[in-house]
Amino acid sequence: MAWFRRKTATGVDQLAKEAYFTASQGQLIWARFKSNRSAMIALWALVIMVLMGFFADFLSPYNPTVAGRDTTYENGAPQLPKFWDENGFSARPFIYGTKRERSIKTNFRWVMTVDRNQRRYVYLFVKGWKYDVINMSWGIPGTDYGFEYRALTLDRHLFGVNQGQIHLFGTEASGKDIFSRTLHAVWTSLAVGTLGVLISFVLALIIGGVAGYFGGWIDSILQMITDAIRTVPPIPLFMAFAAFMPDTWSSETRFFFISIILGLIGWPTLARRIRTHLLTERSQEYVLAAELCGASSAHIIRRHLLPSFTSYIIVDLMISFPYMVRSETALSFIGLGLKDPVNSLGALMQNVSKADVLLNYQWYFIPVIFFIALVLAFVFVGDGLRDAADPYSGHNK
CB of 272 to other proteins, least distance (A): 22
Which spans in the chain are helix H? 14-21, 25-34, 37-54, 56-59, 178-214, 216-230, 234-244, 251-282, 285-292, 297-300, 306-333, 345-350, 355-360, 366-389
Q: Which stretch binds other proteins (CB under 8 A): 163-171, 182-190, 225-233, 280-288?
A: 280-288
Interatomic CA distance for residues 26 and 385, integer angstroms: 11
How many amino acids of this chain bind other proteins (CB under 8 A)? Answer: 42
CB 284 within 8 A of CB 367: no
CB of 208 to other proteins, least distance (A): 20
Q: Is 22 in the site for other proteins (CB under 8 A)?
A: yes
CB of 278 to other proteins, least distance (A): 15
Q: What values do phi and psi take at 98, rounded to 5?
A: -130, 155
Q: Is 14 in the site for other proteins (CB under 8 A)?
A: no
Q: Which stretch binds other proteins (CB under 8 A): 16-24, 85-93, 176-184, 331-339?
A: 16-24
Nearer to other proteins, 142 or 391 (CB): 391
Which residues ranging from 283 to 312 are in contact with other proteins (CB under 8 A)?
Answer: 284-286, 288-296, 299, 303-304, 307-308
Nearer to other proteins, 105 or 395 (CB): 395
Fill in the per-residue mask, 360 to 379: x = in contact with other proteins (CB under 8 A), - = not in contact: --------------------
DSSP lists the bridge partners of residue 119 as 96
Helix (H, G, I), strand (E, B) or coil at 229: helix
Nearer to other proteins, 178 or 305 (CB): 305
Q: Is 6 in the site for other proteins (CB under 8 A)?
A: yes
Dihedral Cα 182, 186, 191, 192, nearest 10 deg: 80
CB of 15 to other proteins, least distance (A): 13
Sheet holding 111-139, edge to edge: 82-85, 88-101, 111-139, 146-161
Nearest to 59 by CA among 151, 134, 154: 154
CB of 32 to other proteins, least distance (A): 7
Q: Is 25 in the site for other proteins (CB under 8 A)?
A: yes
CB 186 within 8 A of CB 345: yes
CB of 224 to other proteins, least distance (A): 18
Binding stretches for other proteins (CB under 8 A): 3-4, 6-12, 18, 20-25, 28, 32, 35, 284-286, 288-296, 299, 303-304, 307-308, 391-393, 395-397
